[in-house]
């Protein structure tokens, strides 16, 4: 488990990168801050495309960025999101595709921090949000 201070840092970073989201169609901005086991934080935001299917979620952007830099092991991710003009945000959980991407690189105890703001957050494990997940060990 990571410290409460690190959880707060991840949420703050997720809010910062959320501002960079490219969402001209849905206006639903999401930011993610992924903590590698090396202690480095990898940031990602969602990036939309007019054709929709080439769009990429914030969580996958962070994972792919980390993997492209050689990091394959992670401890936690903070995810924040909601409509760009919302006065208050609600919890924003990873989509099914993002859960499966996280499962590729993370164990069942990997922590997912969902936050409405820096003070209001809840932490779930990957196993809780992806029960009976299919991972690399299933192909061995």
pTM score above 0.85: yes
Percent over 70 (pLDDT), the chain = 100
Active site residue ranges = 59
d(CA 17, CA 134): 29
The pair phi, psi for residue 3, each rounded to 5°, is -70, 160
Q: How far apart are the first and last CA of the chain?
A: 28
Q: Name the band, by pLDDT with cuts 50, 70 and 90, for residue 11.
A: very high
Instruction: Indicate the pLDDT class of residue 55, thresholds 50, 70 and 90.
Output: very high
Residue 90's CB is within 10 A of a number of other CB atoms, namely: 11
Instruction: Place 81 in a pLDDT band, splitting at 50, 70 and 90.
Output: very high
**Residue 51 — very low, low, confident or very high, per pLDDT cuts 50/70/90?**
very high
Query: Would you state the pLDDT for residue 25?
Result: 97
List pLDDT tens digits, range 92-125: 999 999 999 999 999 999 999 999 999 999 999 9
In degrees rounded to 5, what are phi and psi of residue 133?
Answer: -60, 150
pLDDT band, residue 136 (cuts 50/70/90)? very high
Strands (DSSP E) found in 40-116: 41-45, 74-83, 111-115
String of DSSP letters for 85-114: T-SS----PPPHHHHHHHHHH--TT-EEEE
């Amino acid at each position: 488990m990571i410290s409460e201070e690190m959880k707060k840092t991840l949420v703050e970073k997720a809010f910062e990168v959320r501002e960079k989201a490219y969402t001209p169609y849905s206006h639903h901005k999401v930011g993610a801050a992924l903590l590698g086991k090396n202690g480095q934080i990898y940031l990602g935001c969602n990036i939309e495309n007019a054709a929709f299917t080439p769009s990429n979620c914030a969580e996958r952007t962070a994972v792919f960025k980390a993997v492209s830099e050689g990091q394959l092991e992670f401890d936690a991710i903070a995810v924040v999101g909601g409509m760009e003009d919302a006065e208050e945000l609600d919890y924003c959980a990873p989509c099914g595709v993002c859960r499966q991407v996280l499962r590729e690189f993370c164990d069942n105890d990997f922590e997912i921090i969902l936050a409405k703001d820096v003070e209001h957050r809840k932490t779930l494990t990957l196993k809780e949000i992806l029960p009976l997940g299919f991972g690399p060990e299933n192909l061995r």
